[in-house]
Structure 1
Amino acid sequence: MVFKAGNKCPTYVPPILLNGQGLKRVTTFKYLGHLVTEDLRDDADIERERRALAMRANMIARRFHRCTVQVKITLFRAYCTSLYTCSLWTRYTQRSLNALRVQYNDAFRVLLRLPRYCSASGMFADASVDGFYAMLRKRCAAMLGRVRDSRHSLLAIVANRWDSGLLKHWSSMHVSLNNKFNLM
């Protein structure tokens, strides 16, 4: 994979050989479940997670439609709030994040057989379940805590430098998501 620098990408990349075999150039690669793209944007990974969330939620709604509300809420927490790599998302469009938020809200509505027009914040509050932005903030805070508690020297640099890009993103995400949450 050849990463772009902004909108710039080399016009010619010489072939790279490994044990005499040419390596295939790709634009997207899945690494430990996270989609890495040549432009280092997270929209493709957010879309992957949105589709996976839709599949998990539909499977739960189909298989457990006769269960009690409390069982359905427990299943939702276990299978639909674990957005695997969301704490790594730093470069994405608001459109892709909104699509995931809508999918998250719709998954809960379908599971509990709530009408489409019901308030998302109300349904999550009634069920004592974190809304989309609260869940994202908690995931990012947990990741920051794990990085800060790590004994690995490189991770300590990322977590403790105030000019770290990841730390700036986590901080700004917390502030911007709080503002969005308060406005909704």
Structure 2
Amino acid sequence: MELFRSHCYSIYCNSLWSRFRVATLNRLKVCHNDILKRPLGLPRWCSSYLDFARNGVYNLDVICRHSVFSLRSRVELSTSSIITSVRQSSAYVCGPIQQRWLGLLFVQNVG
């Protein structure tokens, strides 16, 4: 599991993903879960969330949320003039990346 964590938790630049089809992201989640089930000895068709939690393993949603929170925190706290300029731009404030970040970080009540 340590080998899996060190190599498969680093999904580089996933916090910048903003243009993808939901079906594509769902296929990636299924692949990630299937790969993760092997070292745990779980059958491919079983529900895995409880077993992941018991073994201290993050699913793809959690990995993405951690990455987004980390990058967004660094951007918001940066004192760099370049980062500040980007942060104040309408592309950052209203763009697709910011919309995805907000969707991942904040639960929206529906109904």
TM norm structure 1: 0.51
Counterpart of 1:170 in structure 2 is: 101
Counting aligned pairs with the same residue, the percent is: 31
Match of 2:69 in 1: 141
> Per chain length, whose mean CA-contact separation is higher, i.e. which structure has more relative contact order (CA < 8 Å, sep 6+)?
2
**Structure-to-structure mapping, 1:65-144, within 5 angstroms:** 73-144=1-72
Runs of 4+, deviation exceeding 6 Å = none
Bigger proportion of residues as strand: 1
SS state at 2:93 partner: coil
Specify the alignment match of 2:78 in structure 1. 150
Task: Give distance in 2, aligned partners of 1:167 and 1:157.
Answer: 15
Structure 2: gaps (5+ residues) = none
Tell me, which stretches of 5 or more residues in structure 1 are unaligned? 1-72, 180-184
What is the RMSD of the two structures over their aligned residues, measured on CA atoms?
2.1
Shift in Å at residue 160 of structure 1? Answer: 5.5
Q: Which has the higher helix share?
A: 2
Q: 1:149 to 1:104 in 2, by over 3 A?
A: same
- Equivalent pairs, count: 105
CA distance in 2, matches of 1:148, 1:110: 39
